[in-house]
Structure 1
Amino acid sequence: MINFRLIRHLWLFLAVAEEQHFGRAAKRLGMSQPPLTEQIQILEQALKVKLFERSRRGAQLTAVGHAILPAVRKFAEQLESLELAVREAAAGQTGTLTIGAITSAMLDVLPGLITRIRQEHPGLTVAVKEIDSYEAIPALQSGDIDLAFARLEGRLDEDIQSLPLQEDPLAVALPAGHPLSDGEALPLAALAQQDFIMFARKVSPLSYDTLITACRNSGFSPRVLHEVRSVASQIAFVGMGQGVALVPASVRGMAPANVVIRPLADQLHVVTTAMAWNSRRENQLTREVIATITRQPPAGDS
């Protein structure tokens, strides 16, 4: 049996936790402060814990309050998703597809795919959230997203299936003014004495291992100074003079003035966007959308 009173109490707790003030939380909730304070006290009594430290400055979470806040936030998000699904069902919508995508995929790959999805599934609501590549697999495993569009390669997880959609030749990102920043294509062997900023291995083990092997085949083992979670972070670290990075050539347009992108003479390519899904969680709707995406678009379709 659903405990609606507890759900309401948790919703009130979340408002106070986010506002850090009973008065502001009450105003946000459209209620007066005394009933809100009373409801939080009832929740504390029911849980047999103290959730807030009250002072003239406001309401600060206790250690217990901090501990339960992430779970309450997650619960609130799930309730909002449920409410959206109910409204869509009542309006005749066929369902919601939640996509997690890295920024580059949102710019290059997704617009055309979403257009095709909406053409073939007009009753479907498509929700897109921005993620980093390292977040893709956990989000698919937990069911937070149905499809991921991220920089993923190789065997990812027992239940995670993937399909490469876009690949790019590698280039070298160097700080502006670096001795190697002038000229045309740069041999990989020329980077032997440099500090590297690498895409973290846990994000894409195959890509990471391929780059390490390529360096060794060029006569050196790369000195990895930093492992980061995104290409944007690689560029940022290079701009701070922390080393050099092997990045997709397509990032040239987003590089700031303090970073130079030079072509790599060695013919190395990486998957910049792959579509991934959880085969254990997939349903008929997800399968239909995957089929839509994997079908070759008609001539002239972008």
Structure 2
Amino acid sequence: MINFRLVRHLWLFLAVAEEGHFGRAAKRLGMSQPPLTEQIQVLEQALKVKLFERGRKGATLTPVGAAILPAVRKFAEQLGRLELAVQEAISGSTGVLSIGAISSAMVDTLPALIDELGKRFPQLTVSVTEIDSVEAIPALQRGDIDMAFARLEGDFGPSIGALPLRQDRLAVALPKTHKFAGMPRVRLASLAEEPFVIFARAVSPTYFDSLVATCRAAGFSPRILHEVRTVASQVAFVGCGQGIALIPSSLKKAAPDSVVVRPLKEAVNVITTTVAWSTTRKSPAVEAAIEILSSHLASAVKPRSARRPA
């Protein structure tokens, strides 16, 4: 247990030693001289040594006082660093922010967020780990990560906060030689007999279930030929003639020449990235990150009346 009274006495000792005068030390400490003199006497009695020789010109250290001065000065410096570390921890400006993220979020969401956090908290270290969406909530609940960026949707209970960040229109990826490849839009029901390459349920149950539910709403259950771990893998399998895939339309730009991406006639939106965090652990860095993300969302969604006519 820390003896705070001794800490204070040592702090007073250091001031007198550095000033060489009780009056000047008292002024530096913002106190009157008699209480300072009394506290130094208490310290001497506790240590059973004499620390200062008092004289007309001031106070000089005894050999014992001079011997302990370097250790006391080092101790004071360590206390100063401790106080700074505590204040930085309280403000969230230091330490480690651990983020688990799916690969797409690492590309389109995290760079800007990490850059902004770095400006606000220069001493903060951000550690990013790639995860599957299915791992996000358990990792948050265990405290393995502070924030998760994944394909998540729904109510996760009072201990988990969540904010959908990105959604996209659903499109279909087809081999270049497919009979529907030349169509400007593809009706979902027309894909009922096609073999599907789908995002694995073991990786993202929410995303898998939403795709299957979308197909069922169109009157069929998808005939799943392959389950893969990433959207990029879906596109790659399609390029190899292993079926078709329902993917976010923004992935069109990443499709190789062997794959065409066509929008669906139906307007089907899917959540592609949600940020989630624990509500039971307070973290200034997490709170700042949520504030930044919320601000970006608000600026991205402008009222129609504020937009200029085309």
Aligned residues of 1:154 and 1:205 also touching (Cα < 8 A): no
Partner Cα separation in structure 1 for residue 120 and residue 177 of structure 2: 51
Q: Which residue of 2 aligns with 1:179?
A: 179
Partner Cα separation in structure 2 for residue 104 and residue 245 of structure 1: 17
Partner Cα separation in structure 1 for residue 237 and residue 134 of structure 2: 18
Aligned residues of 2:151 and 2:207 also touching (Cα < 8 A): no
Aligned residues of 2:167 and 2:273 also touching (Cα < 8 A): yes
Q: Which residue of 2 aligns with 1:232?
A: 232
Q: Which residue of 1 aligns with 2:170?
A: 170
Q: Which residue of 2 aligns with 1:250?
A: 250
| 2:105 paired with 1:99 | no
Q: Which residue of 2 aligns with 1:220?
A: 220
Partner Cα separation in structure 1 for residue 251 and residue 133 of structure 2: 16
Question: Percent of aligned pairs with the same residue?
Answer: 51
Partner Cα separation in structure 2 for residue 227 and residue 157 of structure 1: 29
Q: What is the count of residue pairs matched by the alignment? A: 213
Gaps of 5+ in 1: 1-85
Aligned residues of 1:152 and 1:203 also touching (Cα < 8 A): no
SS at match of 2:163: strand
Deviates more, 1:247-256 or 1:279-288: 279-288
Tell me how far 1:203 sits from its aligned partner.
4.3
Map Cα deviations across residues 139-165 of structure 1 (whole Å, 9 max, x no partner). Answer: 333433211212222235674332110
Deviates more, 1:190-199 or 1:129-138: 129-138
Partner Cα separation in structure 2 for residue 297 and residue 118 of structure 1: 20
SS at match of 2:113: helix
SS at match of 1:295: helix
Partner Cα separation in structure 1 for residue 245 and residue 282 of structure 2: 36
Tell me how far 1:219 sits from its aligned partner.
2.2
Larger radius of gyration: 2
Partner Cα separation in structure 2 for residue 155 and residue 231 of structure 1: 24
**What amino acid is the match of 1:123?**
Q
Aligned residues of 2:158 and 2:279 also touching (Cα < 8 A): no
Pairwise mapping of residues 81-230 of structure 1 onto structure 2 (< 5 A)? 94-156=94-156, 159-230=159-230
Tell me how far 1:237 sits from its aligned partner.
2.3
SS at match of 2:260: strand
Cα distance change of structure 1 residues 248 and 120 upon mapping to structure 2, 3 Å threshold: same
**What amino acid is the match of 2:183?**
G
Q: Which residue of 2 aligns with 1:263?
A: 263
Tell me how far 1:297 sits from its aligned partner.
7.6
Aligned residues of 1:101 and 1:128 also touching (Cα < 8 A): yes
Aligned residues of 1:176 and 1:260 also touching (Cα < 8 A): yes
Map Cα deviations across residues 199-238 of structure 1 (whole Å, 9 max, x no partner). Answer: 2335444443333233223222211223333212222222
SS at match of 2:277: strand
**What amino acid is the match of 1:263?**
P
RMSD of equivalent CA atoms: 2.9
**What amino acid is the match of 1:270?**
V
**Normalised TM-score (structure 2):** 0.60
